[in-house]
Amino acid sequence: MLTGDDLPAFELVRAEQDNLVQALRHGLDREDAGVVAAVSAVLGGLWSVEASFGRLTALAGDTARILSRFRPEPALVEATRTSLVLGAVSGFLLGGPGPARFLVGLRRLPPAPPDTFARAAQAVLNALHGPFEADLVALEALGESDQPLVAGMASQVASYAWEEGGDLDGALAAARRSLAAFERHGSAWLRAAAHARIGQLCLQVGEAGSGDEALHHLSAALSVIEAFGSWSSANRVRGAIVAANLQRGAYDEAERELKLTTPHGADEFSDMPMFDTVMRAEIALGRGDIDTGLHLWRTAATALRDTQRPGLGGDLSRLDPWALQVQATAVVAHAHHGQLGLVAEITGALPAALSALTAGRGPPPGTLSASYGLAVRGSLLLALAMTDIDRGQRAADAGLARSGARMIALAERFGLKNGLQPAMFAVRARRVAQDADGPAYADAVSSYAGLDPEGLRAAARATLRERARLSG
């Protein structure tokens, strides 16, 4: 269903969705593994396309035990393979049940040429060790496969692995290879996913011309996504198109697109509340209405603190990734306009939040996804660096300015989740660092270049200790 002429199939499945859910429930109640495998393959494919991540996670939880032990008859092998693949992907990428049971079930199935979505995905899953913990050598080798589906999927996953490692150029190159492979052989949906991935990465690069390229790829993805009636995914792509127009300085177009992002209320960005407010803040700043833009940033930051984690006071570390991103970006936006005094409550909480998030090997389960964790830390580092550079310049304190410049280099190495917020562009931050202390920044870029994720976290802890000493 995910590798052929899939739109008619999805329309049929969507029309029968309620009946299929009922059939799945009966199959689970009777522990009829054949029914569960057949129905979950179809529903899982639909919900993947619709970006119904909550349903996918629940489906994986409901089916893990029965599918992992199932030894299907030949007629059900491919349906079982699809269900197990979707369950494993849910575990790796969405925080669902651990993928181990699904991988065990996949190993029991007879081998087959990787010429369908499920078969190709199984080959790629073998190169994964955990959420976005991939053997890049293995993925790069699979990306050279003469099987287009394998090459495309491996390159798509590799793009996330490169991004997680802070290499946006590598991530973008892998995403482009993925699209090239799917153009050789792949469904409209897989090509749309590759276009969307390239568009999102172009937004993160944030350099001259990247907004135009992002808009091209995002528009190509949107035309397919809307044809499939996947309104949640369409909203997300439209949100990215808003950001692309912001990068291009096309504020009227950004505003028009923003008005189209939520025509289906239930599909609004459930994991990105206050998105509309954040985008309106950036539009106002782009038009030169600084007071309105900064006010909207403070409104979003305050609302997320008050509604997502009431009663936490100044503890930012327990906010979810999006809320943390908004706190950091609000600070950076105010710093760019010399108004840090208006976000003193946030800036005062930054050191403790960053310290908590870099204390261990990784984020607490359910708090920060592996794909987002490093970039959120990078955003917090950038926000803290901007406050230090501002303080250092006001007090003529060369030590604080130098520390801030080095911190920006570390923030870049962590990666900045800047695709939807032009305030967070790395090129803009780099300019601030070079103005504050160019030599210190250049030295730090070299020092941090070879660090792995654990090394980066250790460097962040050392940076916080040095900052405390300077502020002492």
Q: What is the DSSP string of 283-306?
A: HHHHTT-HHHHHHHHHHHHHHHHH
Are 319 and 450 part of one and the same domain?
Answer: yes
User: Which pair of tokens denotes residue 418?
Assistant: 């800047």
User: Which pLDDT value is given to residue 29?
Assistant: 95
Which residues constitute the domain of residue 325? 307-472
pLDDT at 109 (0 to 100): 94
Q: Is residue 276 part of a domain?
A: no
Return all residues near 335 (Cβ < 8 A) that are at least 6 apart: 383, 386, 387, 389, 390
Q: Which of 218, 243, 268 is the last residue of a domain?
A: 268
Residues 466 and 336 both lie in one domain = yes
pLDDT digits (tens, 9 = 90+) for 148-192: 999 999 999 899 888 777 788 899 999 999 999 999 987 888 999
| DSSP helix, strand, coil percent of the chain (3-state; round to 5) | 75, 0, 25
Residue 138 CB neighbour total at 10 angstroms: 15
For residue 282, tell me if it sits in a domain: no
> Do 372 and 461 fall into the same domain?
yes
pLDDT at residue number 271: 65
Residue 348 belongs to a domain: yes
Q: Is there a domain that residue 330 lies in?
A: yes
Q: Are residues 258 and 314 in the same domain?
A: no
Long-range CB contacts for residues 10-14, cutoff 8 Å, separation at least 24: 10/45, 10/46, 10/49, 10/228, 10/229, 13/42, 13/43, 13/45, 13/46, 14/46, 14/229
Q: In the chain, what percentage of residues exceed pLDDT 90? A: 54
Q: Which of 252, 268, 284 is the last residue of a domain?
A: 268
The answer to whether residue 86 is domain-embedded is no
Residue 381 maps to a domain: yes
Q: Both 249 and 360 in a single domain?
A: no
End position of a domain, from candidates 268, 292, 316: 268
What's the pLDDT tens digit per position in 350-390? 898 888 888 754 443 333 344 456 778 889 999 999 999 99
Residue 311 shares a structural domain with residue 456: yes
Mark whether 233 and 348 lie in a shared domain. Answer: no
Task: Assess whether 386 and 249 both reside in one domain.
Answer: no
User: CB of 82 within 8 A of CB of 52?
Assistant: no
Q: Nearest CA to 234 among 203, 200, 268?
A: 268
In-domain check, residue 367: yes
The residue with greater pLDDT, 362 or 21, is 21
Contact between 67 and 83 (Cβ < 8 Å): yes
**pLDDT value at 136 more than 90:** no
As a whole number of Å, the CA-based R_g of the chain is 23
Q: Which residues pair with 134 in a beta bridge?
A: 128
Instruction: Select from 413, 356, 354 the least CA-distant residue to 381.
Output: 354
Could you tell me if 317 and 466 lie in one domain?
Answer: yes
pLDDT digits (tens, 9 = 90+) for 461-470: 999 998 888 8
Given a cut of 90, whether residue 255 has pLDDT beyond it is: yes
Evaluate whether residue 281 is within a structural domain.
no
Same domain, 264 and 320: no
The pTM of the full predicted model, rounded to 2 decimals, is 0.83
Residue 5 has pLDDT above 70, yes or no: no
**381 and 446 both lie in a single domain:** yes
Please identify which residue in the block is written with the tokens 């793009």: 159
Confidence at residue 390, expressed as pLDDT on a 0 to 100 scale: 93
Asked whether the beta carbons of 6 and 188 are under 8 A apart, the reply is yes
Say how many domains are in the chain.
2
What is the pLDDT of the chain when averaged over all its residues?
Answer: 86
Same domain? For 376 and 260 the reply is no
pLDDT of residue 64: 93
Q: What is the mean pLDDT of residues 80-94?
A: 89
